[in-house]
Structure 1
Amino acid sequence: MDLYTWISPVVPIAYLSTASLAFYVLLNLPQHLRSTCFPIFVMPAWRAFATFKYFTWPASLDGIWGLAVLIWMANIISLLYIDKITVQSNTRKQWDIKAAYKLLFDVRHLDKFRPTFSTPEKPICGRPLIVFAATQLFRLFVYWQATVHLFTPIIPLLFGPVEPWEFDQYAQIYFRRLPLFEASEPVTLRETYIRIVFTFRWIWLSFVDVDAAHTFLSIIFVGVLGLDSPEEWPSMFGSPLEAYTLRRYWGRFWHRLVHKPYLSIAKLLASKLHIGSLGPRSEKTFLALLVFLISGVAHAMVSLQRGKPTEAIDDMAFYCINFLVIAIEGMALYLLRPIRRLLPRWLCRTTGYIWVLTFWFWAAPKWSYPEVHGEMLREIERKNRAQGLGIFGSLLSGK
């Protein structure tokens, strides 16, 4: 990597640091002044998001940074303007920079780890820190090896050379092309196998992108800077064994970073629209819809910042479809409750796992195939251009 690749990430990091300092100032101002001074936070925070393209390595880091900044902004807005956290409380003195730092990045609201001043701090033992850092480094090593040597090249390794048309818009359609529907171009066995492997690959890469970033930051803030304890960096994800419904996939297995900040914004919007008057069930459904919708908007903003409006539309559709399917799933489980009581638990869970994997088998390619298809076309174009330049250079040299 060249010098520019190493230095350029300083730009968004500097903007984020400025926004963090602005949060510290706003946190210690009265509520009526926070609204007036809001631009001193939102302007550098937005620039921290808008400059995420400066992260050029690894390839997925720019998108992770962009999403993380948007979630972080939602958390700060929730703290300052929705929860209206007070200037001083029983657990936080005014202008206490350490307590402000604990609030700053506590997106999951791990309240039990926030500092109190009634109990003196206990010194951190060196041995647990060494064990924690070594464990986290080993986790990163496993992620790197598995991603680079297995999950990234797994499709060419298993199926040989693949062509762009195997990931085009037509390949996104599967169930409507089954022989049952007498499609003009029915699905093939090779296509099915590729789709199965791609689905597991997509789940793995989506998981690793987030958890590797979380693991790396835990090493920095715990092992290097010593600002946090290992307990303040609990696992981001739950057990995949809990994901035997799509709702549990999102609620029990997938990370909960967005839950508190997005739910706070959703509750504010619901109260403005008086959704609560429709009943608790309607309000709960509306809040879930808004959380998925906000998630879709955040992903779409990243795609738009990358200059990919088509992917932004796909992002919105993906999260809206997830909400719709979860709603249908909930009604189906309610109607099937008498039957489920008669069946053994292991059978219900096994059926649930099959259902969740079937959904991702259908949904993941629809969301990700366009990006794979476009990247393969760009790679072919780069190779053709390089080959053309090579031939042209040979002609000029008289060979």
Structure 2
Amino acid sequence: MDALIPASPLLIGAAQMVVVASTLAYTHKSSPLRLATLALIGVFGYYHYWSCPALSTSGLWNGTCAATNIIYCLHHIDLVILKRADHADLVDSSKPATAQGSAFLRALYLCFSTRSIRSKWQIGNVPAFPSYFRDTADPGRLSFLFRTAIIFAWQYLVLDFVDTAMAAQSPQEQQAAYGEGQEYILFDATREQLVTRLTTSVASSFFIGRIIMDFIYRAMALVAVGTGISQPLDWPPFFGRMRDAYTIRYFWGKFWHQWLRGPLSATSLFTSRSILGLPRRSLLEWYSNIFMTFTLSAAVHVANDVIAGKGIVTGTIIQFQGFAVAMLIEDAAQAVFRRLFGTAKSADSREKLRAPAWRLAVGYLWVQAVLFVVVPWYIYPSGRMPAGSMWTVPYSFVEVLGMQKAGAIIGGLLIFILAFLKPEI
């Protein structure tokens, strides 16, 4: 694949989208052509994955390209084979026949949206539009584009600033902060190592990691809404509110992006029910699905690591299993608490009352403790990559402006965003 060009992954991915969308729009649920589409998804997926190193000189973007490929393959298999979506599922029953849009375009959007936004398969806990929009049920196009563009510009500068700071690190500084094996040193860690571990777990979970993923999402939203391909309603917020992350289940189910949730949950449910035959709605099925979903997520991130140049990293696998174990411990602790004190179930119920302050405090400490332990297992190997090999933005304004001026602009934009754009934090 030496002859591949940077656009190769995009072209292969686009071809897969067109083939799958055509299958959904123009074939019946039980059509034998769907098996041919399944085979084509495998072919497209293989060539897309191995074309990702041609995308750029950034391990971060090449790895993200590879992970995206796998998720879309699982999503498309789910739509074509498991859910067997067809033309009837693409019709908007609330509109007359004369007002129906193109079935192919609706299918194309469904292929693109792993959260299945505005379809009968939409995942749960999709964040609501912020109060900035006068009508949160239907944000206006211009106001949506304005707000998204301002936040996107701020995110670009933040990532540029971080890139510049990381590139300036010497190999000795990298070794001191993220040296080989330091992610597993906990009880014997020095004060400096503990501080690095804390700042890394907080920054990657609530700041930089969130900004990188949200940055990609906003770029796609600007293109899709700006060109009129889709509506603002198709692009609800990618992340929830940090204040909701007071349990591990809520961290993953309400705060963190749900981009992988649909494809991974569909795959784990198919495995537990159709292959393993586990009793439906049983504790065995419930926790089997949790561990399978996190295992699948680990596999996707390992595939990311390979293309990014990190190789197969053990820490990636055990980090996601660590979250699954933490969720099991959390559920057990809450069950014991309810039995001892006779309180109503709260962490997974649809309760409207806010948890009391002391429970929130304990919850936040618990979540941060889990992040403190497991996140470095995944993040530290990235910190050991050669300086400049994991850049996030293609052009550096910070190098032109200087760190001081760029920092002032970032701070000014942040004040404007907080004061006028009403972000949900």
Q: What's 2:419 paired with?
A: none
Over 3 Å counting, the alpha-carbon distance change for 1:193 and 1:340 in structure 2 is: farther
Q: Give the one of 377, 380, 384 matched to 1:369.
A: 380
Q: What's 2:319 paired with?
A: 318
Which residue identity lines up with residue 91 of structure 2 in the other structure? Answer: T
Q: What's 1:110 paired with?
A: 117
Q: What's 1:133 paired with?
A: 145
Residues 1:264 and 2:275 aligned together = no
Q: Give the one of 176, 179, 183 matched to 1:172.
A: 183
CA distance in 1, matches of 2:194, 2:167: 12
Deviations 1:71-105 (A, max 9, x none): 11111100110011235457179983222222221
Q: What's 1:219 paired with?
A: 222
Higher mean alpha-carbon deviation, 35-44 vs 319-328, is at: 35-44
Q: What's 2:410 paired with?
A: none
Deviation at 1:64, TM superposition (A): 2.1
Which residue identity lines up with residue 315 of structure 1 in the other structure? Answer: T
Q: Give the one of 226, 238, 241 matched to 2:240.
A: 238
Residues 1:287 and 2:289 aligned together = yes
Q: What's 2:20 paired with?
A: 23
Residues 1:353 and 2:364 aligned together = yes
| Contact preservation (8 Å) 1:87, 1:94 | no
Deviation at 1:274, TM superposition (A): 4.3
Q: What's 1:142 paired with?
A: 154
Over 3 Å counting, the alpha-carbon distance change for 1:48 and 1:274 in structure 2 is: closer
Alignment of 1:56-205 (within 5 A): 56=56, 60-89=60-89, 91=91, 96-112=103-119, 128-149=140-161, 153=165, 162-177=173-188, 187-203=189-205, 204-205=207-208
Q: Secondary structure at the match of 1:234?
A: coil
Q: Give the one of 191, 204, 210 matched to 1:207.
A: 210
Q: Secondary structure at the match of 2:173?
A: coil
How many residue pairs end up in the alignment? 348
Deviation at 1:253, TM superposition (A): 0.4
CA distance in 1, matches of 2:218, 2:174: 35
CA distance in 2, matches of 1:59, 1:273: 36
Q: Give the one of 295, 298, 303 matched to 1:296.
A: 298
Deviation at 1:325, TM superposition (A): 1.5
Q: What's 1:334 paired with?
A: 335
Over 3 Å counting, the alpha-carbon distance change for 1:254 and 1:191 in structure 2 is: same
Which residue identity lines up with residue 329 of structure 2 in the other structure? Answer: I
Q: Secondary structure at the match of 2:230?
A: coil
Deviation at 1:261, TM superposition (A): 1.7
CA distance in 2, matches of 1:340, 1:152: 54
Over 3 Å counting, the alpha-carbon distance change for 1:275 and 1:284 in structure 2 is: farther
Deviation at 1:37, TM superposition (A): 4.1
Per the normalisation by structure 2, the TM-score is 0.73
| Contact preservation (8 Å) 2:273, 2:280 | no
Per the normalisation by structure 1, the TM-score is 0.77
Deviation at 1:219, TM superposition (A): 0.2
CA distance in 1, matches of 2:323, 2:190: 27
CA distance in 2, matches of 1:340, 1:57: 57
CA distance in 1, matches of 2:327, 2:192: 30
Which residue identity lines up with residue 334 of structure 2 in the other structure? Answer: L
Deviations 1:22-69 (A, max 9, x none): 113322234322113433333123322321222326652222222222
Deviation at 1:306, TM superposition (A): 4.0
CA distance in 1, matches of 2:102, 2:161: 49
CA distance in 2, matches of 1:365, 1:154: 17
| Contact preservation (8 Å) 2:302, 2:312 | no
Q: What's 2:8 paired with?
A: 11
Which residue identity lines up with residue 104 of structure 1 in the other structure? Answer: C
In structure 2, list runs of 5 or more residues that go unmatched.
93-99, 122-138, 345-354, 391-425
CA distance in 1, matches of 2:361, 2:234: 34
